């Protein structure tokens, strides 16, 4: 979501919500009042309306500020970009989310090694699918779809950041790495990186 806001040059105030401190600040009553799912992000508009779910928020941003577009002009292109974004946000990310990792560790008692193996397995499964969707597709360009960043790139880069954090092997995905590297040359992506946020550890 930060990437999308930066790409569009839309000003915002970031309110840090630490996922570990205080037992997870996203689980507090105050945060749940914003997002009852106890997941970040929650995006509050000036009139107090709160939007949740990154994909829904990014599509909202694209509707209220269409330029630069995060979705292609053609219906088939939009379907492809949404499919790529959802392959990450709906299929890959949820099984590796913090609450899932905490559950398998704490409730099911798996070891740290098994937890990392779980993480790497689902990253590999997700990236193999994504690789096949991207490699040699005529619409894959400098970015996931064409030569400007889309919703798909906004999902890809944070996921790869997490994969690197967990030392997932990435050599098998040269196209994905090339696209991420192209994104990471852009200030919108650089300024959204976790390590440059005010609450970075």
Ligand X SMILES: N[C@@H](CCC(=O)N[C@@H](CS)C(=O)NCC(=O)O)C(=O)O
Closest CB to ligand X among 55 and 124? Answer: 55
Gap between the Cα atoms of 44 and 116, Å rounded: 34
The SS3 assignment for 140 reads: strand
Q: How many CA atoms lie within 13 A of 178 on its CB side?
A: 14
Structure tokens at 189: 């992506």
Closest distance to ligand X from the beta carbon of 50 (Å): 12
Closest CB to ligand X among 26 and 115? Answer: 26
Closest CB to ligand X among 98 and 181? Answer: 98
**Contacts to ligand X by CB under 6 A:** 19, 24, 26, 39-41, 53-55, 89, 97-99
Closest distance to ligand X from the beta carbon of 155 (Å): 8
Closest distance to ligand X from the beta carbon of 135 (Å): 25
Instruction: Assess contact for 139 and 146: CB atoms under 8 A.
Output: yes
Closest distance to ligand X from the beta carbon of 26 (Å): 5
Closest distance to ligand X from the beta carbon of 27 (Å): 7
Closest CB to ligand X among 41 and 72? Answer: 41
H or E segment to which residue 43 belongs: strand 42-44
Gap between the Cα atoms of 12 and 42, Å rounded: 12
For residue 146, what are the β-bridge partners?
Answer: 140
Q: Is the dihedral of CA 16, 21, 22, 25 positive or negative?
A: positive
Give the C-alpha distances (Å, rounded to integers) separating 35 from 17, 65, 116, 142, 164.
Answer: 12, 24, 28, 35, 28
Closest CB to ligand X among 18 and 121? Answer: 18
């Amino acid at each position: 979501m930060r990437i999308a806001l930066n790409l569009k040059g839309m000003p915002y105030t970031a309110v840090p919500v630490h996922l570990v401190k205080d037992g997870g600040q996203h689980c507090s009553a105050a945060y749940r009042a914003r997002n009852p799912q106890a997941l970040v992000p929650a995006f509050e508009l000036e009139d107090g309306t709160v939007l949740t779910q990154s994909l829904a928020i990014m599509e909202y941003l694209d509707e209220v500020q269409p330029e630069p577009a995060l979705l292609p002009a053609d219906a088939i292109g939009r379907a492809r970009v949404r499919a790529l974004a959802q392959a990450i946000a709906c299929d890959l990310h949820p099984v590796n989310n913090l609450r899932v990792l905490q559950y398998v560790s704490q409730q099911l008692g798996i070891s740290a090694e098994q937890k990392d193996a779980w993480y790497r397995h689902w990253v590999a499964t997700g990236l193999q699918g994504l690789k096949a969707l991207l490699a040699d597709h005529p619409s894959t360009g400098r970015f996931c779809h064409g030569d400007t960043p889309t919703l798909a790139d906004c999902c890809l880069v944070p996921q790869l950041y997490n994969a690197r954090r967990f030392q997932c092997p990435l050599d098998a995905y040269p196209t994905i790495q090339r696209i991420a590297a192209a994104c990471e040359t852009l200030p919108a992506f650089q300024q959204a990186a976790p390590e440059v946020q005010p609450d970075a550890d």
